[in-house]
Each structure stands twice: as C-alpha cells, then as structure tokens.
Copies of this chain bind each other. A is one copy, B any other.
Amino acid sequence: MSPKSSRQFAAMRSESRQKILESALELFALKGYHSSSMSAVARHAGISKGLIYNYFRSKEELLFAIFDYLLQIFDALSPGQPGSDPVMQLRQMTEKNFDMIERGDKHYRFITGIMTQPALQDLVHHYTGKVMREKLRPFFRLFAQLGYPDPVQAAYSYAAMMDGIGLGYIAMGDEYPLGKMKEYVLRTFCKKQES
C-alpha cells in the first residue's frame, strides 16, 4: 500500500544531504569555494550533479547550509572536561587547536577560506560572526576561572593570537615556527593570573 515508507525516504534524504554537506565542506576547504564546481562537489560526494539541487537551492545555499552544519559541530565539540582543572582544559584546547592548524584541518581551512573572500564576506558575515562568538564563548569562562581581571579581553586576545598563528602558518608553511609559538601561547595564556 505505502509505496515506500516515509521513514525510508526521510532516512535517504538525511543520508544524502549529510553526504553532500560533508563532501562540499571538504572540497571547499581543499580547493576553495570558487574553484570547486558543483560538478566537482557531486563527483566528490559520489552522486549526480542534479541531486545536489534536490537538497540545496543553489551553490550559495549549500554554502550557508555548511555553515549551519559547522555551527552544530562546534556546538557538539565539548571544551574538554568541564569539571577538571581550568589550566588543564585550556592547555588541552590549545594543543588541539595547534594540531588543527598543523594538520590543515578542514573546518578551519573552510572558514578561513570563505571568510576572507571579499565576494562572499557580505553573504556569510552572519555566519562568521556566529562562528567566532561560538569559538570564543568557552574561553570567557575559562579565563574567568583562571582569575584574569578582564576575561573577555583575554579571550579575544587568545583567539586573535591563535588565528594569527594559523594565518602565519598558511602564509609561510613549515618555515613558520609553530612549535615555538605553541610554547609561547601555553606560557603566556595558559596559567593562573595572580595579584
């Protein structure tokens, strides 16, 4: 009677949509938005070109959907064990961040690649702002716990430092003193504040 259970359809849809999102995220991160054709996205996802348009109205909307997806991912990324020592948490998150920079993590590259494109800036401004705030949020609490007199300022400084290091690494490659910078960040930011 029922031609194909609606649950089946929902599952198919969900799976395909997910596959497209992840493939596109990866490809955009790897080649950039403008250099990744919809055909290439389809090929990379192992599906047909037309199917993408079953889920996303346009390349732009696909881009937005990826941002939404990223925000979910970041949300789910718990900032270390909330209960544990804040110094430890901060150090762990810093280590992880440096690891992402060094590995050329796709989420990281995706955002940097999109956000700095003048042609896209206005379109994604809404999302990049959200992403930045999302990334910043856990650090407000952490720097407060560490006794920083102005934890918001500290969080912004920490984030700027991390982003700048990422940019430097992109610009200079292995010539960039990533190891020394990590030590510097750990030494400068990841400690209790006194007085």
Q: Which residues of B contact A100 (CB under 8 A)?
A: none
Closest to A120 in B: B32
Question: Secondary structure of the A side of the interface?
Answer: helix
Query: B112 to A116, Cβ gap below 8 A?
Result: yes
Contact with B along A121-152 (1 / 0, CB 8 A): 10001001101110000000000000000001
| Interface size bracket, A side | 35 or more
Chain B residue nearest to A124 in the complex (CB): B171
**Inside 8 A of A119's CB, which chain B residues have their CB?**
31-32, 34-35
User: Within 8 Å CB of A34, what residues of B?
Assistant: 32, 34-35, 117, 119
Q: By the criterion CB–CB under 8 Å, are B117 and A173 in contact? A: no
What 0/1 pattern do residues 81 to 115 of A give for CB contact below 8 A with B? 00000000000000000000000000001001101
User: Which chain B residue has the least Cβ–Cβ distance from A27?
Assistant: B118
Task: Pick from A13-21, A57-65, A69-77, A175-183 the stretch touching chain B.
Answer: A175-183
The answer to whether B32 touches A118, judged by C-beta atoms less than 8 angstroms apart, is yes
Binary interface encoding of chain A residues 152-172 relative to chain B, with 1 for a CB under 8 A from any of its CBs, else 0: 110011011111110110111
The answer to the question of A25 belonging to the interface, with a C-beta cut-off of 8 Å to chain B, is no
Cross-chain contact of A160 among B31, B118, B131, B165 (Cβ < 8 A): B165
A29 within 8 A of B: yes
Could you list some 17 contacts between A and B, CB below 8 A?
A31-B118, A32-B117, A35-B119, A115-B116, A128-B172, A129-B173, A131-B171, A132-B168, A152-B177, A157-B184, A160-B161, A160-B181, A163-B163, A163-B164, A163-B168, A164-B167, A167-B167
